[in-house]
């Protein structure tokens, strides 16, 4: 069993805006590309050109339909990766100490040298956010691009996770959620950001911003005052004259 | 406890090379990270005007495209029968000698017997130039089956269209309506724009039978019935006009709404615009009440003007619009059943448009002077913008529907005003400033002018002296007079039928015509392999260039293998399909960030470089230097040194002797190096006072002349009334020396209306809507939109198979459940496919992802890949001709104005069947010239 730190200096994480995500999978593939050649073992693909292609991804987008009594069905795109929980069951379940939560920034990582590939952490994670790499036999998960966010070989502006840098709609943001004045914390406060499955008590750091209400806008009646301009009884000519302000 | 020590600053790469993506058609800037000389990682270029650093799923997966095992490796000569996939690798010299031996005699005797059509071509100004030098009239790219309705309707109406021609004012618009955009066109800029709108709290309304992608995040969704968008738009026009919520000042000043129409029914000019002796459109000046040229200094055109002459009262375009669109035929109630949109919803959306355009108008302090010489202190914005794409254009009423949408934009005063729709250079550019089509052939000589263009009337049709189609695709004929992009979807069908004549050689570039780029896939395969009585193929020779082992490869006789996009030179040119922004002109290059590498094989060459070589071998003017040597050693040489007009070449950046000029200037031998230093692109910003009102703004016109977009200012007014359409109607009414065939007269009279109209999809007159009650659509997923790479190792894990999505009522009526299969039947064919439930659909619409399905043996995938077993194409259900209706005529399944392929007119019926082992039809496997299956390349160097 592995212990969680009693305190982390920061709580780095993602804020994902479900009102904006169009489900394009840009974050999924940018993540794959970066982490295939980044932290730890490559993200392998089994049977990549065959009948059952299946590989390791640290971030996936799920799409859900929501049907409702009044109004048309809605579609929500839901990107999901490790939420870097404060009370991460994947860490406490780890028999070797390979899974750990960093005390400085709260990132949950797997020390691949210590991972025995037992899979207990994936079983413990209620979000399905960990994937066993079939080629390496070790557990892979979102690192919050720990090899980008502090990387002095990258320009400062690029020191953010690959998924955030690439997101075309700007639906993903990265920052310190322990700092109430950070941009991510402010957007969570303004938009009613929520924990995923809070009842589980995992205290996820990543936050989701809900889709805004859909449907008709506020009542607008700008047409009504002008609806008395009718083609009848003076016909088109009368309409035209009235419209053009002719006597 | 102790944490492991991490290297938080690993070296990312040895070098970043900046080039242009080609995973779809957006042309984003990319940073390609190299390590040990190999491609390691691809991300967006933060400085690039198109994508500002972001990149979509395809772009990030580009590394897997570059390393794909399906890459071709050598020129191939067919050894087995067509379609077998049996080839022999040959050297480049053999390949080019063979191609020359086929093409040279044709050019000397009958150049029209070469048909050269390109698919996913981003070098059309070059391939068109080559085809013109060769002398064949038979050249076009893929616009005819893509979105020519959108382009042509926009250019004829307002001198520009969506996407490459213009964009919403993402920073200012407050209400955005998006019609018929699946998940595409264009990819990253729309996503970036939607993100901006959402963050500003602007409202988004999606109009689409399918609520996926962009429509999923729209604040309101209109689940329209396919093919009825035009009717819905005209109902919005009806409501806005009735309420007087239209921009009268804008209409009077900047459009032909106040122009007088010849209303004399006996005149051969009936319905044409009245003009003065100088040929200028006539308006009534409100100051004098007299007719005057529309562009005279200080003139204030009267929308309600009338001119009484010789007993006839001539009225304005605006008067005609009022007569038509105020008709109760266009009331929200009248259109509700057909469109599936409740009247209250249509009325509400009209009110929203009016509210934002007029109650929430914006004004920016920018002084500008118009073409009449009047100076304005400010610019008034109507912050309503629109975007639309194939969903409205790929119908046989798509041209008029796109016209209706542009009319709606213009009525609101929301084109080129702040907050509305903004043109991107080299647009605005009216139809009259484009070339007209040319088709006159002289053996051994170039064609008499550019192939494609914008006809202004019957005189511009491409007909032979005996009135027959001059082009193999019958573009610019009475069947589709304004086919500005050609009809690629008719080439193989017509060549096979010898209608209007037989050809010898079909040269195709990146066009998967034996698969997802043709209607009637099975039929096209038969046409490509059909022989005459002596056993010779009816299409005698096929040369094909592609970078990958696509389905089309097996049907060619000679393969010229192209490079991947990271191994090639290209220019994204202002002469072609540029990447400009509303505030700037911009162009870009691709360059070989790595050299082509096909060890053990003769290797690959960029197709455009091959054309330079072939052009020299064939002795084409423009490709041979004075001393007889090749004029261009490769495409890069052409990009730098070709001049279309003196001082104007493919790239605008760093021209001139001092390499300091953007726009005009002599060729600069170091130009490509300067592009590479600058991140692969050049940009020239438009001065602030020239950024809006461009068609009428003197400052913009002068800037455009300075940079070389035009040679003289060319202000113009928007054509709500498109007079060239009326010229074709007049011919159909019996006027003029060029007359349409009898069977087309009525159709031309109805469909080539100079004011936007709506008519039902032509297929509805052939396929019984009762027997075939369901509309069937396709769209490309965002992660594969416009991508030449469904085989991509990463992307196929996201979209590896494609069910047919079925709405609630049809799902229940057929008692479908998960895992079921259905037989889907159109008047033309039947497919058997897996189904899946989707509630967020128009109740009469089914749809699937396009181009996921693959032929067994292609793309270096295993034969049991899900793309080849469960994947399927709707194309089998669609014919290039409409179903026969007993009149003995072949009616093309195309828009009668432009010839655009009417993919989305498809009607089907659907029934549950026992699950087969794979999707039907099952086509036999093809031998692969590159092998199948295997592992993927891991870019990470092993330590």
Mean pLDDT computed over A225-244: 64
Any A CB within 8 A of B703 CB: no
CB neighbours of residue B849 within 10 Å: 25
Helix H or strand E encompassing B506: strand B505-509
Report the run of H or E that residue B585 belongs to, with start and end.
strand B584-590
For the record, the structure tokens of B921 come out as 């039809």
Which pair of tokens denotes residue B411? Answer: 């009525």
Which run of H or of E encompasses B216? Answer: helix B213-217
CB contact B214 to A (< 8 Å): yes
Contact B248 A243 (CB under 8 A): yes
Record the tokens describing residue A17, joined without a space.
Answer: 């805006």
Please name which of B486, B651, B554, B640 lies closest in space to residue B925, comparing C-alpha atoms. Answer: B554
Flag whether residue B46 sits within 8 Å of chain A, measured between CB atoms.
yes
Find residues 153-182 of chain A whose CB sits inside 8 Å of chain B. Answer: 153-154, 157-158, 162, 165-171
d(CA B20, CA B29): 5
CA separation for the pair A243, B281 (Å, rounded) = 24
ipTM for the predicted complex comes to 0.96
User: Are B719 and B158 within 8 A, CB to CB?
Assistant: yes
Average pLDDT, integer, range B274-287 = 97
Whether residues A28 and B798 touch (CB distance < 8 A) is answered with: yes
More confident position, B785 or B93: B93
Which residues in B lie closer than 8 A to residue A55 (C-beta atoms)? 793-794, 797
Closest CA to A168 of B50, B497, B181, B145: B50
Sequence-separated (6 or more) residues with CB below 8 Å from residue A19? A209, A210, A211, A212, B198, B217
Restricting to B residues 288-317, those with a Cβ less than 8 Å away from any Cβ of A are: 302-304
By Cβ distance, the residue of A170, A171, A227 closest to B243 is A227
Q: Check if the beta carbon of residue B44 is closer than 8 Å to that of residue A157.
A: no
Query: Minimal Cα–Cα distance from B602 to chain A, Å?
Result: 25
Span between the terminal Cα atoms of chain B, in Å: 29
Q: Which residue of A has its CA nearest to B51?
A: A168
Would you say residue A235 has pLDDT above 80?
A: no
Candidates B797, B857, B939: best to mutate against A (most CBs of A within 10 A) is B797
Q: What tokens were used for A62?
A: 């799920």
Collapse the DSSP code of B545 into the 3-class scheme (helix H, G, I; strand E, B; otherwise coil) and give the result: strand
Closest CA to A151 of B11, B690, B642: B11
What phi and psi values does residue B869 have, to the nearest 5 degrees?
Answer: -110, -45
Whether omega before A34 lies within 30 degrees of 0, making that bond cis, reads: no
Classify the phi-psi angles of B737: left when phi > 0, otherwise alpha if psi is within -120 to 50, otherwise beta. Answer: alpha
Res. B839: pLDDT tops 70: yes
Decide if pLDDT at B701 tops 80: yes
Q: Tell me the residues of chain B between 54 and 73 that have a Cβ less than 8 Å away from chain A.
A: 54-61, 63, 69
pLDDT in tens, B720-740: 999 999 999 999 999 999 999
- B60 vs A166, A212, A230: nearest CB: A166
A 116-135 residues with CB below 8 A of B?
none
Q: Distance between CA atoms of B883 and B905, rounded to whole angstroms?
A: 12
Closest-CA residue in chain A for B194?
A169
* B597-637 per-position pLDDT tens digit: 999 999 999 999 999 999 999 999 999 999 999 999 999 99
Name the closest residue on chain B to residue A164, using Cα atoms: B54
B710 touching A (Cβ < 8 Å): no
Q: Please determine, for residue A90, whether its predicted confidence score (pLDDT) is greater than 50.
A: yes
Q: What are the boundaries of each domain within chain A?
A: 12-209
How big is chain B, counted in residues?
Answer: 943
Q: Given CB atoms, is B396 within the 8 Å cutoff of chain A?
A: no
Count of CB pairs separated by less than 8 Å, A with B: 268
DSSP label of B509: E
Can you tell me the mean pLDDT for B790-798?
A: 95
Strand partners, B834: B821
- Give mean pLDDT, residues B518-531: 95
Which among A51, A67, A73 is the nearest to B862, CB-wise?
A: A51
Using CB atoms and an 8 Å cut-off, which of residues 354-373 of chain B contact chain A? 354-355, 358-359
Nearest Cα residue in chain A from B69: A49
The shortest CB-CB distance from A67 to any of B248, B354, B839 is to B839
Q: Pick B783's closest partner by Cβ from A24, A153, A241.
A: A24
Does the distance separating the beta carbons of A53 and B840 come in below 8 Å? no
Instruction: Please name the fold of domain B762-913.
Output: Barwin-like endoglucanases (2.40.40)
pLDDT of residue B882: 83
Residue B889 pLDDT more than 80? no
The encoded tokens of residue A22 equal 């169009």
Token pair belonging to B349: 């959306």
Residues in chain A within 8 Å Cβ distance of B191? 22, 24, 168-169
Give the H/E segment covering residue B641. Answer: helix B635-641
Of the listed ranges A15-29, A173-187, B103-117, B653-667, the least confidently predicted one is B653-667
Is-contact B577 B26, C-beta < 8 A? no
**Is A233 in CB contact (< 8 Å) with chain B?**
no
Question: Bigger pLDDT: B170 or A233?
Answer: B170
Q: Which residues share a beta bridge with B282?
A: B293
Ordered DSSP codes for chain A: --PPPS--S--EEEEEETTT-----HHHHHHHHHHHSSSSS---EESTTSSS-EE--SEEEEEEEE--SSS--EEEEEEEE----TT-HHHHT-SSS-EEE-TTT--EEE-TTT-----HHHHH-TT---EEETTTTEEE---TTHHHHT-TTS-GGG-S-HHHHH-TT--EEEEETT-TTSHHHHHHHHHT-B-SSGGG----S-EEEPPPP-S--S---SSGGGTT--STTTHHHHHHHHHTT--
Please tell us whether the domain made up of A12-209 is placed in CATH 3.30.70.20. yes
Token couple for B580: 């400009």
pLDDT tier at A226, thresholds 50, 70, 90: very low
pLDDT value of position B926: 96
What number of CA atoms fall less than 13 Å from residue A160's CA on the CB side? 20
| C-alpha closest to that of B930 among B644, B547, B365 | B547
Domain ranges for chain B, please list them. 258-315, 762-913
Chain B interface disruption, residue of A60, A168, A190, most B CBs within 10 A: A168
Query: Cβ–Cβ of A227/B199 closer than 8 Å?
Result: no
- Cβ separation B216–A74 shorter than 8 A: yes
Among the partner-chain residues B9, B245, B933, the one whose CB lies closest to the CB of A152 is B9
SS3 content of chain B, % helix, strand, coil (to 5): 30, 20, 50
**In terms of Cα–Cα distance, which of B263, B155, B156, B149 is closest to B722?**
B156
| B41 contact residues in A (CB cutoff 8 A) | 33-34, 37
Percent of chain B with pLDDT over 70: 99
Instruction: Return the residue in A16, A33, A56 with the most chain B beta carbons within 10 A, the one to mutate for interface testing.
Output: A33
Task: Tell me what pLDDT residue A243 has.
Answer: 78
Query: Are B493 and B524 in contact, with CB atoms under 8 Å apart?
Result: yes
Q: Does A32 touch chain B (CB under 8 A)?
A: yes
Question: Cα-atom radius of gyration of chain A, to the nearest Å?
Answer: 25
Give residue-wise pLDDT tens across range A150-164.
999 999 999 999 999
Distance between CA atoms of B679 and B538, rounded to whole angstroms? Answer: 48
**Distances in whole angstroms, Cα of residue B934 to Cα of each of A45, A200, B144:** 11, 43, 37
Q: Output the pLDDT for position A227.
A: 47
**Span A94-126, pLDDT tens digits:** 999 999 999 999 999 999 999 999 999 999 999
- Is B884's pLDDT higher than 80? no
Q: Does A187 touch chain B (CB under 8 A)?
A: no
If you average pLDDT over every residue of chain B, what do you get? 95
**SS3 category, B355:** helix
Facing residue for B3 by CB, picked from A55, A73, A100: A100
B422: phi then psi, degrees, rounded to nearest 5:
-125, 135
Q: How far apart are CA B482 and CA B222, in angstroms?
A: 31
Q: Is B4 on the interface with A (CB under 8 A)?
A: yes
Which residues are bridge partners to B674 per DSSP?
none
On whether the CB atoms of residues A27 and A163 are closer than 8 A, the answer is yes
pLDDT at B281: 98
């Amino acid at each position: 069993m592995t212990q969680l730190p009693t305190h982390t200096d920061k709580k780095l994480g993602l804020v994902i805006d479900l009102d904006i995500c169009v489900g394009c999978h840009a974050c999924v593939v940018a993540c794959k590309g970066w982490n295939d050649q980044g932290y730890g073992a490559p993200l392998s693909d089994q049977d990549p050109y065959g009948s059952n292609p299946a590989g390791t991804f640290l971030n996936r987008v799920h799409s859900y339909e929501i049907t409702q009594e009044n109004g048309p069905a809605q579609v929500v795109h839901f990107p999901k990766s490790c939420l870097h929980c404060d009370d991460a069951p994947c860490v406490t379940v780890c028999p070797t100490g390979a899974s750990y939560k960093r005390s400085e920034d709260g990132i949950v990582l797997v020390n691949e040298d210590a991972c025995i590939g037992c899979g207990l952490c994936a079983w413990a994670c209620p979000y399905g956010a960990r994937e066993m790499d079939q080629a390496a036999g070790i557990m892979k998960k979102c690192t919050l691009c720990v090899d980008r966010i502090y990387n002095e070989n990258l320009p400062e502006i690029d020191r953010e996770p690959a998924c955030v840098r690439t997101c075309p709609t700007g639906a993903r943001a990265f920052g310190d959620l322990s700092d109430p004045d950070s941009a991510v914390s402010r957007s969570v406060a303004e938009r009613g950001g929520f924990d995923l499955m809070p009842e589980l008590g995992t205290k996820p750091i990543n936050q989701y911003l809900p889709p805004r209400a859909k449907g008709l806008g506020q009542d607008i009646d700008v047409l009504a005052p002008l609806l008395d301009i009718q083609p009848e009884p003076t016909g088109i000519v009368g309409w035209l004259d009235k419209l053009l302000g002719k006597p | 406890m102790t944490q492991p020590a991490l290297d938080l600053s690993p070296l990312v790469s040895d070098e970043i090379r900046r080039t242009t993506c080609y995973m779809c058609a957006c042309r984003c800037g990319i940073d390609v990270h190299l390590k040990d000389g190999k491609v390691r990682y691809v991300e967006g270029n933060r400085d690039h005007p198109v994508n500002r650093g972001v990149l979509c799923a395809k772009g990030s997966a580009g590394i897997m495209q570059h390393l794909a095992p399906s890459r071709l490796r050598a020129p191939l000569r067919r050894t087995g029968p067509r379609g077998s996939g049996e080839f022999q690798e040959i050297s480049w010299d053999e390949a080019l000698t063979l191609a020359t031996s086929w093409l040279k005699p044709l050019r000397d005797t009958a150049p029209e017997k070469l048909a050269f059509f390109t698919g996913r071509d981003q070098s059309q100004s070059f391939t068109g130039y080559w085809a013109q030098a060769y002398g064949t009239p038979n050249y076009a790219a893929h616009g005819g089956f893509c979105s020519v309705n959108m382009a042509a309707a926009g250019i004829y109406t307002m001198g520009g269209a969506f996407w490459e021609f213009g964009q919403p004012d993402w920073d200012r618009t407050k209400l955005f309506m998006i019609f018929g955009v699946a998940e595409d066109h264009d990819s990253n800029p729309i996503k970036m724009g939607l993100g901006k709108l959402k963050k500003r709290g602007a409202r988004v309304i999606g109009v689409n039978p399918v609520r996926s992608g962009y429509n999923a995040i729209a604040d309101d969704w209109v689940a329209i019935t396919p093919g009825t968008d035009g009717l819905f738009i005209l109902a919005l026009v009806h409501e806005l006009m009735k309420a007087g919520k239209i921009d009268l000042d804008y209409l009077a000043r900047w459009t032909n709404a106040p122009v007088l129409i010849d209303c004399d029914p006996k005149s051969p000019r009936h319905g044409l615009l009245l003009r003065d002796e100088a040929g200028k459109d006539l308006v009534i000046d409100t100051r004098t009440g007299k007719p005057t040229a529309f562009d005279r200094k200080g003139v204030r055109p009267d929308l309600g003007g009338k001119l009484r002459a010789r007993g006839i009262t001539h009225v304005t375009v605006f008067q005609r619009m009022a007569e038509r669109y105020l008709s109760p035929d266009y009331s929200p109630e009248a259109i509700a059943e057909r469109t599936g949109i409740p009247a209250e919803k249509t009325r509400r959306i009209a009110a929203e448009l009016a509210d934002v355009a007029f109650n929430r108008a914006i004004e920016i302090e920018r002084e500008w002077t118009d073409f009449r010489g009047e100076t304005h202190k400010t610019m008034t914005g109507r912050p309503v913008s629109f975007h639309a794409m194939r969903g409205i254009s790929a119908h046989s009423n798509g041209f008029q529907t796109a016209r209706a949408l542009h009319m709606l934009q213009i009525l609101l005063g929301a084109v080129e005003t702040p907050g509305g729709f903004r043109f991107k250079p080299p647009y605005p550019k009216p139809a009259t400033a484009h070339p007209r089509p040319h088709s006159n052939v002289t053996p051994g000589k170039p064609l008499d002018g550019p192939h494609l263009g914008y006809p202004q009337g019957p005189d511009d049709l491409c007909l032979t002296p005996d009135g027959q189609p001059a082009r193999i695709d019958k573009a610019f004929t009475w069947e589709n007079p304004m086919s500005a992009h050609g009809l690629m979807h008719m080439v193989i069908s017509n060549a096979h039928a010898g209608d209007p004549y037989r050809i010898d050689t079909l040269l195709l570039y990146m066009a998967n015509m034996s698969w997802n780029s043709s209607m009637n896939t099975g039929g096209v395969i038969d046409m490509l392999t059909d022989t005459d009585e002596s056993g010779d193929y009816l299409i005698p020779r096929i040369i094909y260039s592609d970078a990958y082992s696509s389905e089309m490869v097996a049907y060619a006789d000679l393969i010229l293998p192209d490079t991947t996009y990271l191994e090639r030179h290209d220019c994204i040119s202002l002469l072609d399909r540029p990447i400009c922004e509303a505030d700037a002109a911009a162009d870009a290059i691709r360059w070989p960030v790595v050299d082509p590498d096909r060890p053990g094989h003769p290797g690959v060459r960029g197709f455009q470089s091959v054309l330079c070589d072939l052009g020299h071998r064939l002795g084409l003017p423009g490709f041979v230097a004075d001393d007889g040597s090749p004029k261009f050693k490769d495409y890069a040489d052409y990009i730098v040194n070709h001049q279309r007009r003196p001082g104007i070449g493919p790239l605008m950046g760093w021209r001139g002797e001092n390499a300091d000029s953007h726009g005009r200037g002599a060729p600069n031998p170091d130009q490509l190096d300067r592009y590479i230093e600058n991140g692969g692109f050049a940009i020239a910003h438009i001065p602030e006072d020239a950024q809006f009102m461009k068609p009428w703004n003197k400052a913009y016109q002068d800037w455009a002349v300075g940079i070389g977009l035009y040679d003289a200012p060319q202000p113009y007014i928007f054509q709500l009334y498109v007079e060239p359409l009326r010229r074709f109607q007049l011919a159909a009414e019996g006027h003029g020396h060029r007359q349409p065939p009898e069977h087309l007269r009525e159709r031309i009279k109805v469909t080539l209306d100079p004011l936007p109209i709506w008519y039902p999809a032509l297929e509805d007159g052939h396929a019984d809507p009762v027997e075939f009650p369901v509309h069937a659509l396709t769209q490309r997923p965002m992660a594969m939109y416009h991508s030449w790479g469904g085989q991509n190792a990463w992307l196929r894990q996201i979209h590896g198979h494609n069910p047919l999505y079925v709405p609630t009522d049809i799902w229940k009526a057929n008692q479908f459940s998960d895992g079921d299969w259905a037989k889907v039947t159109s008047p033309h064919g039947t497919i058997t496919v897996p189904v899946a439930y989707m509630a967020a659909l128009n109740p009469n619409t089914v749809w699937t992802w396009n181009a996921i399905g693959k032929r067994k043996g292609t793309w270096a995938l295993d034969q049991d890949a899900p793309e080849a077993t469960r994947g399927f194409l709707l194309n089998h259900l669609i014919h290039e001709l409409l179903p026969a209706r007993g009149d003995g005529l072949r009616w093309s399944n195309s828009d009668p104005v432009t010839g655009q392929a009417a993919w989305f007119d498809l009607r089907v019926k659907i029934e549950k069947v026992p699950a087969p082992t794979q999707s039907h039809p099952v086509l036999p496997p093809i031998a692969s010239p590159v092998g199948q299956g295997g592992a993927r390349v891991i870019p990470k160097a092993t330590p």
